[in-house]
Structure 1
Amino acid sequence: MKALTLTLSLLLLALSGLHAAPAAAADAPATSARFILLGEVHDNAEQHRLRAAWLAELMKDGRRSTVVFEQIPAQRTPALANLPAEARHDAEALVELAQLDKKNWRWPLHKPLFEASLQAGAAVAGGNLSREELRPLMKGVSAETWPADLRRLLEQTPWGEAQQSAMIRAIDEGHCGALPAAMQAPMALAQRARDAAMARAMLAAREGGAERVVLIAGNGHVDRELGVPRYLEAAGVPASEIRAIGYLEQGQEGPGRFDSRVLTAPAEREDPCKSLRR
């Protein structure tokens, strides 16, 4: 009965505020999965609010949870492992300790997610590569530049021409068709490195004792065919233990392979392609 109540509560929560969404984001497999990946359009505040409320409801079951954030470099995780008292319930103090890039991530857009994690008593971890780690990846197309553990994960993850073409197409579309051809392969390699790094962070959280690991990341990273789930499965995680939920905007329903989708109204923004095309 408790599990049924939780599922119904999550279903109602997911339905509230959605404009044209399948409510599958709150289905039973999502609540029971060990690895849950929540996508996002980075500047959509409504999606962050919905996910934060969903997280808060989800974690009422008391399962030991870790929330991994794309917005934090993985190298900051040791500093977050034993939060000082002032950061345990203070999202502002936490992100300062995590060295979150407030300008690029438009803080406080993601603040509700950090607050929901802290209030539920979940551990918080970083998942991304730092700029210093990404920089050499952008200078060439060789995986020799990867850290050894990420390179091992790369080598055991099936990746063919179909995946590479789909990745480059997604990157090109994400840059409004304005990305120079010479940059496409390095950008694809950097994207794969970040996906592998986030998978590594989720696996590390499981090894650290988390019963459930939640990833907060862009929809491209949550894609089951090209993103983090592919690396989790290559590392031995059963597909049934992974739940990928895309949070998309109306009119953006096309690309991406997810177990379920939540659609929201588009955020108000200037044309993101304007400056790129110029």
Structure 2
Amino acid sequence: MLRQRIITAVILAPLVLAGLFGLSGGAFAVFTAAVILLAGWEWTNLAGVAGVAGRLGYVALLALLMLAGWYSDAVNAAWPLWVACAGWLVSVYWVAGYPDRGRQWRSVTARLTIGLWVLLPCWAGFVQLRDSGAQWLLYVLLLVWLADIGAYFAGRRFGRRKLAPRVSPGKSWEGVYGGMAVTALLALGYTLGFSLSPGDGLWLVVTTVGVTLVSVLGDLLESMFKRWRGIKDSGRLLPGHGGILDRIDSLTAAVPLFALLRLWH
């Protein structure tokens, strides 16, 4: 399994980095759209769609909505990001009340609808961040990766209070705090590296800590649906790593919020 994970990472890492930072404009939008469409295929599994035709139909719907968003310029608007923020706020209620509140999203239709506000605003956020400068796209990626690393080690060393034991028993509040501490250091490093003013630096630290906290919801929401479906991974597209969604779940929450806060600032 470890060998398989390493081989997959060695093959994919250069391709992903080239796509994210070597492309711009329409080419970047197409590249990230392809990733989101693959994640959409996996989302149908979380939603409980069994037939291939139904799963392909959902992916086609995502693609059509992306095309409409691109040609209407909605991909560059703030409202998709606001939709995402509203959705993630509701997800707090669902995760905190799992499984009792499952009746609110138990139907296949409900879970497919949730996938729209999880995936499409994430794509819009990627496009907007890339247009604002590659450094901010890199920043949000580092934020999520470092948050995961900080949470893992802090949780192993200090984890006592469970974050959402019915959804993801391994996560703890101490792990969350560890992730926030590491990403706050990232914000300080960016402040110094890009010679930001004290006010801009403070804004970045506060924003980073908030986005780090929200990014956990992306992981928890997917974990909740996987637990409900009784599956370990969202898919098998990445040998040794599970599915695309398993790799970008935190980004689906972090990217739209960070992009929205960038628009504000």
Q: Which interval holds the TM-score relative to the shorter structure? A: 0.3 to 0.5
TM (norm. structure 2) is 0.33
Q: So what's the TM-score if we normalise by structure 1?
A: 0.32
Larger relative contact order (CA 8 Å, sep ≥ 6) = 1
